[in-house]
Chain A
């Protein structure tokens, strides 16, 4: 491709269209200052207008994005900040200069805070800075909302407030000079299926409005100046891609069978039951993983009844399909106050999962009782995280049986669920056959990290685990062999199962059950249907 911008994929997909700049920065140009009184008045008007715009935006937005817009609203009336700005106005500084320099100082502070969360908020401050500055310059933001139909939006950064101001139905793609794949805008783009790349570099901003651009968000590339032939080839790919996506969506609720006709069970990974309303149960053969830690995210710890109600919601949603619930998996990257050990030298090799839970018998017991009660409602299965040796399972089972007896004695409806383990420690994979269980579920995220002895979040080490999957697939094969000898089901619930590119590797290793994050189900099923590829290179 000719001149191209290499960025990072934030939301996959292909599209072409005309470039259109979305400016979030303050306008440059002359500003004719009035006297002190006039400047104070102008600032008030501009702050008021910005507050009005943001209040309109926040009305339709919930969750973390709503939090950010509320944060911006609060900054507009922040007493400490306004006092500083008014002091500058008193000295004869213009409203635009006082506002811009005060916000510049804050942005700098946030950026250099050494705190990722606070650094990310500097973009939200810059966004707010631009909004008020545009108003001070007499630019009406609603005029700036030019038509973006069939366009690819080019931006320096794309703050959440701008994302919501774009007419998303007509945006064909987004390319951002800065930003990160974990920004809010990137999360929103993925949720809405808009191709987006970030980190393209400042040169991106020299593109002309209206210039024809070609976005391959899977590869993270934005190309311009293609020859007629290249353009035709690209458009052909776009069409094929759209068709494939369309077909995948249509076939999403159909069962997944390989090209040889083997049925592959596709389960859902779930967190919070609140997400169930926008997940279609018909796309799944059941739930392969319910993470239960979410219940503890809201301050007070959930009692037996609260837990039971959460599980009940999922079991009812599954409508007769199996529901696999994971026992509390705190520790490692999921600390919880009062339970996990603070200042552990290496939390991933320390007290986490069952290792932690077995030391907190109250927590373990309350959850077991809720699980035993929920089992009476449907096909509930319970799995233990981070199992390393067989005694961890037998201990848990003993406690489960004792709680079952107690519930039965008190006349409470309950049932003994199937009990399985998460295989995420290599030792468990190597001796999988020795565990007394009813099923296995391989957690590839941790298994990969323990197999390669490489932290997941260290980008310098991705070359280890993303190069060759052979070692981890060898462990998967061991578990598959142990399970088939006992006639038990083994599923995979880590990222390898949700990634259409690695699904084939798991099927090669003998896996026939995948538990995936719901957003990926259409693509995973298509990957299953294409396996094994008809023309395989041998």
Chain B
């Protein structure tokens, strides 16, 4: 098994990981072929980042960190883009 790529970002949205951020995060994760998981702590309870439902149930609050890990061909790009999305307060980047 190839090694996991990891990353961390802090949620700044005052309401935390509510519907809009969760949907945006899952939609972005789904663009990648690799597996992407997130967790509220470095050690535990990894959930599928492509599952909006699972993201919502994390109840992640404003100011809390999200840990990300991805395994697969495009794992590096996936982690980078997810970190950027979270750091950018879940706003899609203007391109």
On whether the two chains bind one another, the answer is yes
The answer on a CB contact under 8 Å between B26 and A74 is: yes
For residue B91, which residues in chain A have a CB less than 8 angstroms away from its CB? 298-299
Q: Which of A109-117, A148-156, A254-262, A390-398 contacts B (4 or more CB under 8 A)?
A: A109-117
Minimal Cβ-Cβ distance residue in B for A336 = B14
| A75→B52 contact, CB < 8 A | yes
Q: How far is the CA of A276 from the CA of B19 in the complex (A)?
A: 26
The one of B15, B20, B22, B48 in contact with A80, judged by C-beta atoms closer than 8 angstroms, is B48
Q: Are A80 and B54 CB-contacts (below 8 A) given A68-B19, A70-B23?
A: yes
Instruction: Tell whether, in the assembled complex, residue B51 and residue A121 are in contact, meaning their CB atoms are under 8 Å apart.
Output: no
Q: Say yes or no for A118: interface residue by CB 8 A criterion.
A: yes
The answer, among B18, B26, B52, B63, for a CB contact under 8 Å with A117, is B18
Residues of B within 8 A of A110 (CB): 56-57
Q: Which of B13, B14, B52 contacts A71 (CB 8 A)?
A: B52
Q: Which residues of B contact A298 (CB under 8 A)?
A: 89, 91
Q: Does B53 contact A (CB under 8 A)?
A: yes
Total number of A-B contacts with CB less than 8 angstroms?
69
Task: Enumerate A117-133 residues with CB–CB distance to B below 8 Å.
Answer: 117-118, 121
- B15 x A117 contact (CB < 8 A): yes
> B20's closest neighbor in chain A, by CB?
A67
Interface size on A, residues (CB 8 A): 27
**Contact among B20, B53, B63 with A70 in the assembled complex (CB-CB below 8 Å):** B20
A81 within 8 A of B: yes
Which residues of B (51-93) have their CB < 8 Å from a CB of A? Answer: 51-54, 56-57, 59, 62-63, 88-89, 91
Min Cβ gap B21→A in Å is 9
Residue from A70, A106, A110 with most neighbouring chain B CB atoms (10 Å): A70
Given A71, A78, A80, A299, which contacts B19 in the complex, CB threshold below 8 Å? A71
User: Smallest CB-CB separation from A73: which chain B residue?
Assistant: B23
* Residues of chain B contacted by A75 (CB below 8 angstroms): 52-53
Contact partners of A138 in chain B: CB under 8 A = none
A297 interface hit (Cβ, 8 Å): yes
CA of A121 to CA of B48 in the docked complex: distance in angstroms? Answer: 20
As a 0/1 sequence over residues 1 to 39 of chain B, the CB contacts with chain A under 8 angstroms (1 = contact) are: 000000000001111001110110011000000000000
Which residues of B are at the interface with A, using a C-beta cutoff of 8 A? 12-15, 18-20, 22-23, 26-27, 47-48, 50-54, 56-57, 59, 62-63, 88-89, 91
- Other 14 A-B pairs with CB < 8 A, given A79-B48, A109-B57, A335-B14: A67-B23, A70-B19, A73-B23, A74-B26, A78-B26, A78-B51, A78-B52, A80-B47, A80-B51, A81-B53, A113-B57, A113-B59, A298-B91, A342-B63
| A-B contact list, 17 entries, CB within 8 Å | A67-B18, A67-B19, A71-B20, A74-B22, A74-B26, A78-B26, A78-B52, A79-B51, A80-B47, A80-B53, A110-B57, A113-B59, A115-B59, A297-B14, A299-B13, A337-B62, A342-B63
